[in-house]
Chain A
Amino acid sequence: MSDAQQPDDTTAHTEHEHHDTEGPGYATPQAAIEESEPEEVAYVMGLYVGTDVDAPDFLGVVDVDPDSDTYTEIVDRVEMPNRGDELHHFGWNACSSSCHMDGLERRHLVIPGQRSSRIHVVDTKDRRNPELESVIEPEEVFEHDLSAPHTTHCIPDGQILISMLGDADGDLPGGFLALDENFEVDGRWEPPGEIEMNYDYWYQPRHNVMVSSEWAAPKTYYPGFDFEDVEAGNYGQRLHVWDWENKTVEQTIDLGEEGLIPLEVRFLHSPEATHGYVGAALSSNVFHFHEASEARSASEQSSGDKPRDGDEWRAESVIDVEAREHDGWDMPVPGLVTDLLVSMDDRYLFFSNWLHGDVRMYDISDPANPRLADRIWAGGHFGDPAPVQDRELAGGPQMLQLSLDGERLYWTTSLFSSWDNQFYPEEAERGSVMLKADVDPRNGSMSLDEEFLVDFGDLPGGPARAHEIRWPDGDCTSDVWQ
């Protein structure tokens, strides 16, 4: 955590002298806001896994350019070579963390199959017509006693790191798989046994830290959600704080009952920041995690190498979504906070309550005290789901993506095929939608854009689910700065 842990080119990093390097991404989060053009295409996961539609999952190219004739249409689809993948989360081969890597391009999407453990590499040189480039077969993944790939981040040296939720049998422990710059399996990233459960992770290289979260063993969550598993302790409630360079867990934070199933992890974008958030889905809380300042200054004062004893990182629940009574249902229903993101200027936090049906926007100028700024109801089991352009909404707001300038928030409605079937069975028949809100960052407000609707229910193969969204020029949920 000290400056001694910085890579060799510390000076360039600190001063952001980028004029003589041509790496991908933007020099700073502020540069991403100022220099980026409005998004013209979105890459969106489309799924047929687990349905009777005999078609593979695909990468959808959605036209989000309002001046285009094909605005809001799925203009291209890259079909995967196999069925049964459950494409879920995906990432770029390079992001702003590689801004000093001359010649590296943000060009390839690494797209894992959650159920199949197959990993696809798609070349997006032609943005509107991406092409499948190569495939890592499940056997190559199982060889490292890992399965169920989830979050994909490029890491600064050109490698790709993927969180893996299970062992080769779909049991615990999970771990991390590294790919090399040629998209071949490099091996396990961490010494096995550092963690049991895994899910999402985010790293902050300037502070030599990574935070990872916990879902469950694949065999637990794959078939669907069962209270028996919660009672048996089969779901996660901990965060792991890693020494990024040493690849070891330095601290584990038990979030307790308020932190059941901590999913998406987001650090603030500023590379200086030691604040972040994680959403706990089942208990429907948002936790603020941060490096505790007393402990930090103490360790800074201690000379030379760390030993870093004590709990240097803390996590506190700062937003609590109350469960709500639903007519005709036996028990109060949690919001189910399934995705969250931080705007590129680190000013707003957005999250989705998949079961309730609202998307919320919080002002996080004071990171420990988020203030509700606005919210939108769209679909879900509450809030009187109104159709958009006569299209009935079959699910609730789920995966979110925000434009780099923070003015357009998009989301899709599918969570995970088997979980969708439990909570929104109509989604299998109707397919997902992609929706959008216009965000006013000055006033801290947002409004649903009724003109925008991408209907995944209306495809040649049959209705598809839609999941994560990415932009070609980097996003609020993938770019990291050194």
Chain B
Amino acid sequence: MTSGSSAHDVALEWPDGHEERVSVAEDEPILSAAEHAGVALPFGCRTGACATCTGKLLDGRIEHTRPPRALKQRHRDAGYVLLCIAEPRSDCRIAVGADIQAELVSNPWR
């Protein structure tokens, strides 16, 4: 299969209603594609360890190119994805922004 030839339409949606659409090739991490398109997303390690780039997949399919170490199984089950190591396998809608990472953990004493 020649990769790079097929691109998908990825809609990035911030909690405040702001939305951006980016075309992402199948062999390109969504974070990098967004950067190239001039769309700023939060990130940190770029290796799948820190979860700073967490998004929530609302629609569509992605594949992580490396194990998403920063996500626990419960997070993965709930649809959270790491955009630094996620490639699209279909058109996608993804909730993004720093608030999505903050959903992963809450104040345990509260």
Contacts and interface: CB of A to CB of B under 8 A. Distances in A.
B109 A326 contact: yes
- A interface secondary structure, majority: loop
A171 B67 CA distance: 12
A330 interface: yes
Contact of B102 (A86, A332, A333, A421): A421
A226 B108 contact: yes
B104 interface: yes
A332 B44 CA distance: 32
B49 A222 contact: yes
Interface string A100-127: 0000000000000001110000000000
Given A50-B101, A421-B102, A422-B107, A223 B50 contact: yes
Given A52-B98, A219-B49, A422-B105, A84 B44 contact: yes
Interface of B: 14, 40, 42-52, 54, 66, 69-72, 97-98, 101-102, 104-110
A169 B69 contact: yes
A71 interface: no
A219 B69 contact: yes
Given A219-B69, A222-B70, 11 more contacts: A51-B98, A52-B14, A170-B48, A218-B50, A223-B70, A223-B104, A224-B51, A226-B72, A227-B108, A228-B72, A417-B52
A50 B105 CA distance: 14
Nearest to B44: A115
Most buried by A among B47, B97, B110: B47
Contacts of B108: 225-227, 331, 422
Interface string A41-52: 000000001111
B43 A418 contact: no
- Which are the 3 A-B pairs with shortest beta-carbon distances? A170-B49, A115-B44, A224-B105
A117 B45 contact: yes
Given A51-B98, A52-B97, A115-B44, A169 B109 contact: no
A172 B49 CA distance: 12
Interface residues on A, range: 35 or more
B51 A223 contact: yes
Interface of A: 49-52, 54, 83-86, 115-117, 138, 147, 166, 168-171, 218-219, 222-228, 326, 328-333, 417-418, 421-423, 425, 428
26 contacts: A50-B42, A50-B101, A51-B42, A52-B14, A84-B45, A116-B45, A117-B45, A166-B49, A168-B47, A169-B47, A169-B48, A171-B69, A219-B70, A222-B44, A223-B50, A224-B51, A226-B108, A329-B109, A330-B110, A332-B109, A417-B52, A418-B101, A418-B102, A421-B98, A421-B101, A422-B107
Contacts of A219: 49-50, 69-70
A242 to B, nearest CB: 26
Given A329-B110, A425-B102, A147 B44 contact: no
A170 B52 contact: no
A84 B52 contact: yes
Contacts of A218: 45, 49-50
A50 B98 contact: yes
A222 B72 contact: no
A52 B110 CA distance: 26
A50 B44 contact: yes
A51 B102 CA distance: 10
Nearest to A221: B50
Contact of A330 (B42, B50, B109): B109
A409 B48 CA distance: 38
Nearest to A333: B109
Contact of A423 (B45, B47, B107): B107
Contacts of B48: 169-170
Contacts of A333: 109
Contacts of B110: 328-330
B46 A84 contact: yes
Contacts of A225: 105, 108
A428 B106 CA distance: 15
A43 to B, nearest CB: 22
B47 to A, nearest CB: 6
Contacts of A227: 108
Contacts of B43: 83-84
A57 to B, nearest CB: 11
Given A171-B69, A226-B108, A84 B49 contact: no
A116 B69 contact: no
Nearest to B71: A223
A471 to B, nearest CB: 28
Contacts of A50: 42, 44, 52, 98, 101
Nearest to A420: B102
A51 to B, nearest CB: 5
A418 B49 contact: no
B47 A226 contact: no
